[in-house]
Amino acid sequence: MSISFVIHSLEIPLVRPFRTSFGSQSVRDVVLVEAVGDWGASGWGECVTMAWPGYSAEYTRGAINVMREFLIPTLGPLIDSSALNSTPAPDSVRAALSVMQGNPMAKSAIETALLDLWLKERNLSLGE
């Protein structure tokens, strides 16, 4: 079994500018993480960072980098050793990612993508 990850980076124009004490934003950067199983199913997660580190220390480019360079490679041994050719269980994914400090939005995107894939393997929804 193998699982690959695709990081989709999108810019979505807002209907009108979003203004806060941090400034004005007319485009929203969106990062979607797709976990693709070799059997054809995909699981999806979203990284909700902003383009710049004004609201949080995490920001879009940094989150993409930490996912590609650290978080996804950290999961390699877990995915390679996953029993019975299935997606790793959610608890084991969280435990594997916990060795890295910080980056909760990036971690959540990967965890959610793998959880979605894990549920699809079992024909379950998150509500079940």
Residue 75 has pLDDT above 70, yes or no: yes
Distance CA(43)–CA(52), nearest Å, equals: 27
In the prediction, which pLDDT does 15 show? 96
Distance CA(104)–CA(82), nearest Å, equals: 24
In the prediction, which pLDDT does 84 show? 52
Q: Which domains can be identified in the chain, with CATH numbers? A: 3-121 (3.30.390.10)
Residues 6 or more apart whose CB falls under 8 angstroms from that of 112 comprise 33, 43, 44, 45, 46
Helical spans, DSSP H, in 1-128: 60-66, 72-80, 90-97, 104-121
Angle at 113 between CA 110 and CA 115, to 5 degrees: 105
Residue 107 has pLDDT above 90, yes or no: yes
- DSSP single-letter state for residue 50: B
- Residue 61: which of 11, 114, 12 has the closest Cα? 11
Instruction: Tell whether pTM > 0.85.
Output: yes
pLDDT in tens, 21-55: 878 889 999 999 999 998 889 999 999 998 888 77
Distance CA(11)–CA(37), nearest Å, equals: 26
Name the β-bridge partners of 28: 12
